[in-house]
């Protein structure tokens, strides 16, 4: 552990490897080549030296590095170990191929042992699957009654939940790459299959094209860099495909091109797979997985997340450290545009609204500043605005993770979850789509939740099925009280607070109907 | 250089790395995971120990390992270094991406400076491009007059030469991954562009589909594992695609899936790319290289070479250490069959003949034994025989590299180049297609060349354009006299010997017309 860098004991190396994986790899990559965060390879870190690195880890940076020391997340001893660890060559994590994936697969309830019809009278289409981040669980909440129907053990810090095309099953994926498949017909909804498709992951999706409903699931891993196609009824793993390859711009080999967002095409039997570090968007044809056809669309580096335009023909996706939005025509399988937007766009799935001046637009907020960018998405009705950043308005501040609207609403909701100012991170901004120049109204969501101490960050607006309520997570510490706040979309007034000892650190919420039909 | 294995100085490590690359990597892989040769990773080699490894390198094995010591190719000191080197972790060779590829590119004569019409009256379609292996050259020989028209400096040990679809250009690729593009309209034919697409390579091909003639070239590298698409007029590199990924059977990650044979489809604008270690056959659609579509057909591990059936719809390709022939339907983009054949098939491009009993068949010989396998290729006319090994006959012995026939001929020629018995390796076997049961006639090709001392192995029958002559290389040592022997196909008698000081170690010969039209 000494060649060229400071001394580190084997025990310290183990501690640092685990800490890096938990805290740092998401942004910097396990091989530390850099992505949302900067490269941390020894050629870079050894020039900086131990003291500089300790200060940076302790205090963070305005560019987005968290203050791990002053926040109390890491001890001075841990920071000292990390500063030395970063000057060593990164250890290569193990592979996780089909043998390991298959070994992790558990079919808990076989398809023939599942019910033939829903065993309860609740409206499954208005279920909300809510990530309980630090508990390693999801809550299934009845959107009509606000009752918690099930709390289910899942992977760690479930990143997203996605319903199957029939709306019967919910698939969740943890950051630990564990997928759970929930049968929402059961009373209460229960996990019928699980699998682990790697060591770290972010994305899961199911086949939606006509004739392939509920047939396949796909998940994308951060490590190893790969995607896995599974049987949609059982999660049986069928195909593993590596994403290691060349960067889109310089065409050099990258050892860790992580799979970010995946969406299911409505135009073809295809999954659309964002490969982050290399900037390729893959259209993976699932109509014949033994003879797998993939169309590789070169976009821009550091692809992250995205969603459909309102016609569900164009996939709008952020290349966040390139400050660009890539537009893919899923019908003609081509890149339509690469649009320069604001600093580090982070759309989630974005929001589709009708701009009174520019017509149909797709909206994203940003991590890097307060800008909310509007991109024209109607090449037929408004060709002069199509694929242009037609309007930029100010939200509350940087650190925004999600925007949201609904076809039945005239509101546009924008969070500022990661903003250092508590008065912003604990509120939501709401715009009247028909009077954007008036600016936003700020609603004190955290206050409405009536909780005790805690960071209480407000994250991710999510509509109910009818589009007349918006749900917000009030995300506090693991040992503190969190809540979900439900706001009436018309009046913008508090409608309900869902809290209690089982609602631990809620983050993402996924309404079955809206998620299934890509309504946002 | 000591962790876990015997001591090796830095100088010795350098010598061994170079020797391994030159002598061993072709069969064992640079990362030593094994392919045509066995795995040589430290977990395997340390158990064997230095003395065992020295003996194996010195004396070879019946399984195909050459006797590097007793042949005089390696000294006892070199063998001692190699035996110790093999117990160390293999050094990872450097990447060679677009920056390195672009830096190697030389456009020697720009398209606008080339002639508008052929500058000589020779029949270019009957040119033979002959690899002069140890000279790092090719000879362009006029098939009509048997005159050497040009001797051109190329990459080291040119593996194959392929004409462009128009028949104007010849592309050669050296084992060192250097491509040379020869304009055969010039007088004499000359190199107009060159490029290096990696550190080690075997395959080059050009676009043949209607509308894409001479538009693109493609080359496949052994290291780094990748293929490169180039402009067909200039060799300007356009796209680099990595082949690193999962094995077809166990779906585990392999770091070194080398690109073996590449052929151009006649059914679609596609290149068909064999990926050796992982056993995938890639159909690479070159109609839109910015949005590159690839269909990945799972076949069997250790794909090597192959050729078309007589209709040019079905690609027949050997998975040689799996002892199988894979059949790809290039029209429907599917695997049609995986046929068990004999030990280590090595077809080259194979031979298409009409079997008097079984109808149209495609023929391959083998490295591992004397078997010559006939596979039915006519699913419409002879469905009962299609994709079956319908007949196996005996050639002279194992160590065969190539078979050959021609639509205008009733002969089937089979070499035994690597057979340890000189009387076989210096002869050719010829069968009468209409009387296969009569066995072969053995022609003493080396004797007819009237050369002095030397190994004088006979390799690779190649027809002239008319299909009435067969050319054989008499491949001797670099310091010894070699020759090309031309035999009359009808009479099977000697017609001409081409030799002289410039004909150094001839191996592969590529007739422009037959290679271009996939006639074999």
Span A113-167, pLDDT tens digits: 999 999 999 999 999 999 999 899 999 999 999 999 999 999 989 999 999 999 9
Closest CA to B484 of B186, B140, B169: B140
Our answer to whether residue A1 is catalytic in this structure is no
User: What share of chain B has pLDDT > 70, as a percent?
Assistant: 99
Helix (H) or strand (E) holding A245: strand A245-246
What's the rounded mean pLDDT across residues A186-215?
97
Cβ A371 vs Cβ A381: under 8 Å:
no
What's the rounded mean pLDDT across residues A156-182?
96
Cβ B484 vs Cβ B470: under 8 Å:
no
Our answer to whether residue B28 is catalytic in this structure is yes
Span B130-175, pLDDT tens digits: 999 989 999 999 999 999 999 999 998 999 999 999 999 999 999 9
Q: Which residue has the tokens 């107009």?
A: B192
Helix (H) or strand (E) holding A351: strand A351-355
Report the distance separating Cα B6 and Cα A506, nearest Å.
Answer: 56
Residues 6+ apart with CB under 8 A from B512: B124, B125, B126, B127, B128, B129, B163, B167, B170, B184, B465
Report the distance separating Cα B336 and Cα A362, nearest Å.
Answer: 46
Residue B112 has pLDDT above 60, yes or no: yes
CA B315 to centroid of chain Cα atoms: 16
CB atoms inside a 10 Å sphere around CB B271: 27
Cβ-defined contact of B242 to A240 (cutoff 8 Å)? no
Our answer to whether residue A184 is catalytic in this structure is no
Helix-helix angle B76-85:B50-59, to 10 degrees:
130
Question: Would you state the structure tokens that stand for residue A168, as one six-digit string?
Answer: 């019967």
The sheet that has A259-264: what strands, in order across it? A259-264, A270-275, A280-285, A291-298, B291-298, B280-285, B270-275, B259-264
Closest CA to B399 of B64, B102, B80, B155: B64
Span B10-21, pLDDT tens digits: 899 999 998 998
Interface of A with B (CB under 8 A): 95, 97-99, 224, 226, 239-242, 244-246, 250-253, 288, 290-298, 333-335
The more confident residue out of B451 and A91 is: B451
What's the rounded mean pLDDT across residues A266-280?
97
Residue numbers in A near B241 (CB within 8 A): 245-246, 296
Interface of B with A (CB under 8 A): 95, 97-99, 224, 226, 239-242, 244-246, 250-253, 288, 290-298, 333-335
What's the rounded mean pLDDT across residues B445-472?
96
Report the distance separating Cα B512 and Cα A5, nearest Å.
Answer: 58
Our answer to whether residue A65 is catalytic in this structure is yes
In sequence order, the β-bridge partners of residue B288 are none
CB atoms inside a 10 Å sphere around CB B143: 25
Cβ-defined contact of B95 to A240 (cutoff 8 Å)? no
Residue B360 has pLDDT above 60, yes or no: yes
What is the reported pLDDT for B122?
98
The more confident residue out of B64 and B386 is: B386
In sequence order, the β-bridge partners of residue A309 are none
Residue B244: closest C-alpha in chain A: A244
Q: Is residue B305 very low, low, confident or very high in pLDDT (cuts 50, 70, 90)?
A: very high
Of A244, A251, A295, the CB nearest to B240: A251
Question: Would you state the structure tokens that stand for residue B28, as one six-digit string?
Answer: 């064992």
Strand ranges, E, within B56-144:
106-107, 127-132, 137-142
CB atoms inside a 10 Å sphere around CB A450: 12
What's the rounded mean pLDDT across residues A218-224?
97
User: What share of chain A has pLDDT > 90, as a percent?
Assistant: 86
Helix (H) or strand (E) holding B403: strand B403-404
What is the reported pLDDT for A2?
46
Of B241, B295, B335, the CB nearest to A246: B241
Residue numbers in B near A334 (CB within 8 A): 288, 291
What's the rounded mean pLDDT across residues B448-452?
96
Of A99, A290, A295, the CB nearest to B252: A99
Task: Find which of A242, A285, A331 to mutate to test the B interface (most B CBs within 10 Å of its CB).
Answer: A242
What's the rounded mean pLDDT across residues B230-259?
97
What is the reported pLDDT for A34?
87
**How close B39 gets to chain A, by Cα (Å)?**
19
CA-to-CA dists, residue A180 to A106, A176, A197, B489, angstroms: 10, 12, 11, 68
What's the rounded mean pLDDT across residues B402-428?
95
Residue A4 has pLDDT above 70, yes or no: no
Cβ B122 vs Cβ B167: under 8 Å:
no
**How close A292 gets to chain B, by Cα (Å)?**
5
Cβ-defined contact of B291 to A333 (cutoff 8 Å)? yes
Report the distance separating Cα A443 and Cα A433, nearest Å.
Answer: 17
Cβ A296 vs Cβ A316: under 8 Å:
no
What is the reported pLDDT for B511?
98
Q: Mean pLDDT, chain B, as a whole number?
A: 95
HEC sequence for A428-462:
EEEEEHHHHHHCCEEECHHHHHCCCCCCCEEEEEE
Closest CA to B171 of B200, B195, B147: B195
Report the distance separating Cα A154 and Cα B117, nearest Å.
Answer: 71
Q: Is residue A392 very low, low, confident or very high in pLDDT (cuts 50, 70, 90)?
A: very high
What's the rounded mean pLDDT across residues B459-464?
98
**How close B1 gets to chain A, by Cα (Å)?**
13
Report the distance separating Cα B520 and Cα B228, nearest Å.
Answer: 27
Residue numbers in B near A287 (CB within 8 A): none
Cβ-defined contact of B98 to A250 (cutoff 8 Å)? yes
**How close A227 gets to chain B, by Cα (Å)?**
11
C-alpha neighbours within 13 Å on the C-beta side of residue B69 = 17
Residue B319 has pLDDT above 50, yes or no: yes
- Of B65, B120, B246, B268, catalytic: B65
**How close B476 gets to chain A, by Cα (Å)?**
40
Span B261-276, pLDDT tens digits: 999 999 999 999 999 9
Residue numbers in B near A335 (CB within 8 A): 290-291
Q: Is residue B4 very low, low, confident or very high in pLDDT (cuts 50, 70, 90)?
A: low
- Of A159, A266, A304, A517, catalytic: A304
Q: Which residue has the tokens 């900037």?
A: A279
Our answer to whether residue A27 is catalytic in this structure is yes
Cβ A295 vs Cβ A231: under 8 Å:
no
What is the reported pLDDT for B393?
96
Cβ-defined contact of B246 to A253 (cutoff 8 Å)? no
Of A226, A250, A292, the CB nearest to B296: A292
Cβ-defined contact of A335 to B240 (cutoff 8 Å)? no
Span A308-358, pLDDT tens digits: 999 999 999 999 888 999 999 999 999 999 999 988 889 999 999 999 999
Helix-helix angle A76-85:A10-19, to 10 degrees:
100
**Distance linking the first and last C-alpha atoms of chain A:** 50
Of A245, A291, A294, the CB nearest to B334: A291
Residue A283: closest C-alpha in chain B: B293
- DSSP per residue over A73-85, as a string? SS-HHHHHHHHHH
What's the rounded mean pLDDT across residues B409-423?
94
Residue A3 has pLDDT above 70, yes or no: no
Closest CA to A195 of A155, A136, A137, A242: A155
What is the reported pLDDT for B1?
42
Residues 6+ apart with CB under 8 A from B102: B237
Cβ-defined contact of B246 to A334 (cutoff 8 Å)? no
What is the reported pLDDT for B3?
55
Cβ-defined contact of A98 to B245 (cutoff 8 Å)? no
**How close B487 gets to chain A, by Cα (Å)?**
44
Residue B253: closest C-alpha in chain A: A97
Span B364-390, pLDDT tens digits: 999 889 999 999 999 999 999 999 999
Residue B71 has pLDDT above 50, yes or no: yes
Closest CA to B240 of B260, B218, B271, B256: B218
Cβ-defined contact of A98 to B246 (cutoff 8 Å)? yes
């Amino acid at each position: 552990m000494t060649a060229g860098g400071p001394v580190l004991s084997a025990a310290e190396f183990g501690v640092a490897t685990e800490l890096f994986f938990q805290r740092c790899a998401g942004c910097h990559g396990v091989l530390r080549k850099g992505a949302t965060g900067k490269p941390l390879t020894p050629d870079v870190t050894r020039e900086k030296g131990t003291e500089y690195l300790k200060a940076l880890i302790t205090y963070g940076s305005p560019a987005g590095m968290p203050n791990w020391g002053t926040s109390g997340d890491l001890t001075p001893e841990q920071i000292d170990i990390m500063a030395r660890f970063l000057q060593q060559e990164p250890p290569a994590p193990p592979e996780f191929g089909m043998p390991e994936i298959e070994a992790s697969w558990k079919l808990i309830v076989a398809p023939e042992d599942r019910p033939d019809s829903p065993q309860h009278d609740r409206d499954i289409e208005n279920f909300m699957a809510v990530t309980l981040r630090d508990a390693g669980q999801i809550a299934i909440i009845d959107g009509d009654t606000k009752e918690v129907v099930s709390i289910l053990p899942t992977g760690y810090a479930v990143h997203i939940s996605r319903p199957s095309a029939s709306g019967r099953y919910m698939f969740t994926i943890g950051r630990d790459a564990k997928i759970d498949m929930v049968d929402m017909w059961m009373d209460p909804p229960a996990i019928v299959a699980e699998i682990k498709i790697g060591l770290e992951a972010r994305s899961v999706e199911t086949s939606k094209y006509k004739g392939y409903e509920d047939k396949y699931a796909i998940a994308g891993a951060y490590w190893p860099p790969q995607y896995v196609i599974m049987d949609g009824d059982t999660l049986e793993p069928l195909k593993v495909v590596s994403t290691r390859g060349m960067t889109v711009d310089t065409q050099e080999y990258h050892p860790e091109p992580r799979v970010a967002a995946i969406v299911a095409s409505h135009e073809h039997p295809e999954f659309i797979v964002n490969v982050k570090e290399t900037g390729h968007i893959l259209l993976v044809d699932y109509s014949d997985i033994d003879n797998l056809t993939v169309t590789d669309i070169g976009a821009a580096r550091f692809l992250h997340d995205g969603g459909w335009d309102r016609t569900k023909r164009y996939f709008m996706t952020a290349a966040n450290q390139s400050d660009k939005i890539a537009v893919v025509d899923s019908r003609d399988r081509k890149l339509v545009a690469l649009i320069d937007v604001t600093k580090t766009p982070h759309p989630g799935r974005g929001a589709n609204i009708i701009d009174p001046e520019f017509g149909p637009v797709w909206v994203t907020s940003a991590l890097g500043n307060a800008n909310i960018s509007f991109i024209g998405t109607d090449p037929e009705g408004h060709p002069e605005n199509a694929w242009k950043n037609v309007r930029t308005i100010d939200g509350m501040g940087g650190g925004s993770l999600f925007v949201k609207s609904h076809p039945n609403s005239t509101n546009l909701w924008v969070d500022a979850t990661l903003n250092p100012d508590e008065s912003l991170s604990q509120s939501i901004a709401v715009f009247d789509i028909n009077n954007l120049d008036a600016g936003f109204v700020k609603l004190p969501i955290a206050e409405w939740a009536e909780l005790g101490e805690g960071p209480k960050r407000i994250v991710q607006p999510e509509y109910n099925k009818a589009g007349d309520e918006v749900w917000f997570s009030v995300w506090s510490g693991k040992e503190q009280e969190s809540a979900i706040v439900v706001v009436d979309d018309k009046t913008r007034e508090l409608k309900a607070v869902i809290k209690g000892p089982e609602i631990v650190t809620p983050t993402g919420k996924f309404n079955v109907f809206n998620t299934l039909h890509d309504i946002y």
